[in-house]
Amino acid sequence: MRRLGQGALDSPPTKNSAEVGTGEQAPQVEKKMWEQEMKGERRRIGRAARRLTRSGRYNESPTGITYISDENFVTTGERKLVLPEYKNKYYPSYNSLRSFPEGIRKCYKINVTSKTKYLIGAEFEYLPPSVVMGTAATPKSSNDSLNIFWEPYDETEVHHVHLHFAEVEKLQPNQSRQFNITTNGELCYGTLAPDYLSTTTIFCTAESLSGPGVENNFSIIKTGSSTLPPILNAYEIYEVKEFLISDTNQDDVEAITNIKSTYNIEKNWQGDPCNPQVYSWDGLNCSYHGNDPPRIISLNLSSSGLEG
């Protein structure tokens, strides 16, 4: 999945949101109140974080779910622990992180058993800091919608849009802020009234529109009963990348995996050996014929000190 863009809207964005007006900002006193309200949540997170060992394994209460490190599923990258001063601010799963400072192939391998069903989930979460969520953009006119546009590369693209909201004004009894959210004209989320100094994230999916010069967009539209214009604190747009290709021939995969294990080859050999083609394993040459599974046709291990 490729990130197309993101925004922290404390002032009018420039290129892709010409219809966004000036921003609103929470007073400094109210920001301190926000931080005070978060202390109770951070204490709870801190208790869970202390159960996180350096091995990366911990038990979450009250679900009883055991979380383990990713060490056995990837051979590349570097596992790091966040600094102690940040451990109580986020959930334990975010206290142990893996980065990939070298190489272009970053794959995880999960062994499965034939004819067995698995449910595998992955989460990519951006946590907007309070300095971002303490500001918000509004339309130029209080009766206008707030619109963000972006150009698709082709009409087959699918995008995931993450919108982050938090009320930054202390509303009076006779004031209200409510709005609907659409993507490419289709309703994504019904009436939303952001909570005061508390983040709400809405996820929308947008399929690209077709036609020359057509732009994708999401709109935040004021409801008829709202007395205040819509707001937006931050957003992210991701493009889904699909690989419609066959896996490498299974016999070849087993053979090359045995070679790697037998000779302790320390290469970035993870995932499918031949696919995607531009990221095939270092030292391998593969053949590709239509929709047939790719085959490994030659192997060069001279860089690993092996010849013959």
Last residue of a domain, one of 184, 205, 239: 239
Range 22-47 average pLDDT:
51
**206 and 75 belong to one structural domain:** no
Is 277 in a helix, a strand, or coil?
A: helix
pLDDT higher than threshold 70 for residue 64: yes
For residue 113, tell me if it sits in a domain.
no
- The two tokens of residue 134 are 């303490």
Boundary (domain end) residue, out of 214, 239, 264: 239
Does any domain span residue 174?
yes
Same domain? 148 vs 276: no
The last residue of a domain, from among 239, 261, 292: 239
At residue 68 the predicted structure's pLDDT band, cuts being 50, 70 and 90, is confident
Mean residue pLDDT of the chain comes to 78
Residues 48 and 150 in one domain: no
Q: How many separate domains does the chain show?
A: 3
Give the domain range for residue 268.
Answer: 250-304
Domain co-membership, 227 together with 267: no
Q: Does residue 61 form part of some domain?
A: yes
Report H helices in the chain.
Answer: 28-49, 130-133, 250-262
60 or 165: which leads in pLDDT: 165
Residue 249 to residue 247: CA distance in whole angstroms: 6
- Tell whether 120 is covered by a domain: no
b (16+ CB within 10 A) / e for 272-288? bbbbeeebbbebbebee
The alpha carbon of residue 231 and the mean position of all alpha carbons in its chain are separated, in whole angstroms, by 22
Q: Cα–Cα distances in Å, from 79 out to 54, 90, 112, 120, 213?
A: 10, 17, 24, 21, 44
Q: Is there a single domain that holds both residue 209 and residue 262?
A: no
- Examine the domain organization and report whether 208 and 287 are in the same domain: no
Is 228 found in the same domain as 293? no
Q: Helix (H, G, I), strand (E, B), or coil: what is residue 85?
A: helix
One domain, residues 232 and 265: no
Q: Are residues 135 and 229 located together in one domain of the fold?
A: yes
DSSP type of residue 123: -
In-domain check, residue 116? no
The reported pLDDT for the residue numbered 192 is 96
111 within a domain of the structure (yes/no): no
Cα–Cα distance measured from residue 297 to residue 299, given in angstroms and rounded to the nearest whole number:
7
DSSP, collapsed to helix, strand or coil, labels residue 212 as coil
Task: Say what the pLDDT of residue 256 is.
Answer: 92
Q: Could you report the per-residue pLDDT of 262-289, keeping only the tens digit for each? A: 888 777 788 889 988 888 888 899 999 9
Instruction: Say whether both 217 and 273 belong to one domain.
Output: no
**171 and 223 part of one domain:** yes
User: 108 lies in a domain?
Assistant: no
Asked if pLDDT for residue 238 goes beyond 60, the answer is yes
Q: How many CB atoms lie within 10 A of CB 107?
A: 14
75-93 in b/e form (b: 16+ CB < 10 A) is ebbeeeeeeeeebbbeebb
The CATH number covering residue 193 comes to 2.60.120
Sorting pLDDT into bands at 50, 70 and 90, what band is 12?
Answer: very low
pLDDT given for residue 51 in this prediction: 42
How far apart are the C-alpha atoms of 224 and 179, rounded to whole Å?
9
Q: Helix, strand, coil shares of the chain as percentages rounded to 5? A: 20, 30, 55
Residue 44: its pLDDT value, please?
Answer: 46
Residue 276 is assigned to a structural domain of this protein: yes
pLDDT reading at 59 higher than 80: no
> How many other C-beta atoms lie within 10 A of the C-beta of residue 3?
12
- The SS3 of residue 65 is coil
Res 187: pLDDT = 94
Same domain, 60 and 209: no
